[in-house]
Chains A and B, each alone.
Chain A
Amino acid sequence: MCLAVPAKVLELRDDNMALVDISGTQREISLMVLDGDAAPGDYVLIHVGYAIEKIDEEEAARTLAMFEEMSLLDEEVPEGEDPLV
């Protein structure tokens, strides 16, 4: 139900709509609840016809690098700090 699929923005259209490419299929979706602007070339997540969030490619690369490390917690909890702060 909360399934959301990645899509590439192709062009912006009137009324806060955009044409996107979802794995090769073109669809018109709404940008009405997207926080911030989307531009052609951006990747967004589509859920029931609305873009709900951008996909941050730099952040994705950082996450992949983090997965390579021995621990995911170092990012979250610097040495000697209480994790709940």
Chain B
Amino acid sequence: METAAVPTASRVPASLRGILPVVLALPVLFVAEWALRDAPFAVYLLSVIGVNIILAVSLNIVNGMTGQFSIGHAGFMAVGAYLAGITSLTLKDVAISFLPVAVSDQVFLLVSLLVAGLCAALAGFLVGLPSLRLRGDYLAIVTLGFGEIIRVAVTNTQAFGRALGLSGIPQTSSVAMVGFWVFLSVLVARRIAGSSHGRSLWAIREDEVAAEAMGVNTTGYKVRAFVVSSFFAGVAGGLFAHFVPIINPGSFTFVKSMEIVVMVVLGGLGSTTGAIVAAVVLTLLPEGLRSLFGALAPEGNLAQQVDQIRMPVYGLLLVVLMLARPQGLFGTRELWEVVPRWLTRRRKGM
């Protein structure tokens, strides 16, 4: 499991390696925010893509790197979305006086996202501690169960608006904030993959019994991976709550969990860049289909049916992909390890 060394990494002091990319990325995000100020649909689309990337990358830490098949990720997203929503609703009328309103909004958004992430991480810990002693299919069904329990609990809680959901959450999410968290989650995932923690996770993935025999505390590492993963799922949920007009239990069903799993598997279990590419493709695919059908039959009811057609197409795509390329698009490799190979192969072919 060689992790390709980034060429520049050796020249950057070790203490700065985690921070430097963030510092470099911040101006880019602010430029993007400024450039997109008049394009609400683009902002919405970018936000959805960003949230999906965070979800896919975070699930990849558990499913891909640790090899533990968890299919209840939407539950943690729900915890994050609702708690961020509640926090923001409570803080709605508060503002930091010495800051401009927009900046003050972002500060409060950050606060509620942190609340969301920490609560989801706590939920992940509570779920992970007992259930990660189970293996394989049993773990899958228990995580699915927890996802469903969270959804039913939310549906039955008065404070969370029952089946109607929460509305009136301030729509303070911004491309810069989504981008920042996308960046952070990718960074954390990559740093974990290359660290000694990550080595333990890979070892558990390859052979749990052997890893245990080599002295890896398997339950401990699995729980840690689970906590990190659910933290980011919670943040993604929090971001989601701040750009959709209403959040309700219907957004966090088994189907949503499956969508995230599909992204991870499509990209290749263990490949962070693969998860990103898959998240982008699978978010844009229905939009592309919609415009395609809209162009084919502008006034017919075909265009209205795209949302219906989306899910069967999704399912067929999954089957065809698994038959054609069971290891996912990238396998465990990252983008920069795969693309050069494709390019050289094509050149040889000519």
**A complexed with B:** no
Chain A residues within CB distance 8 Å of chain B: none
B interface residues, Cβ below 8 angstroms from A: none
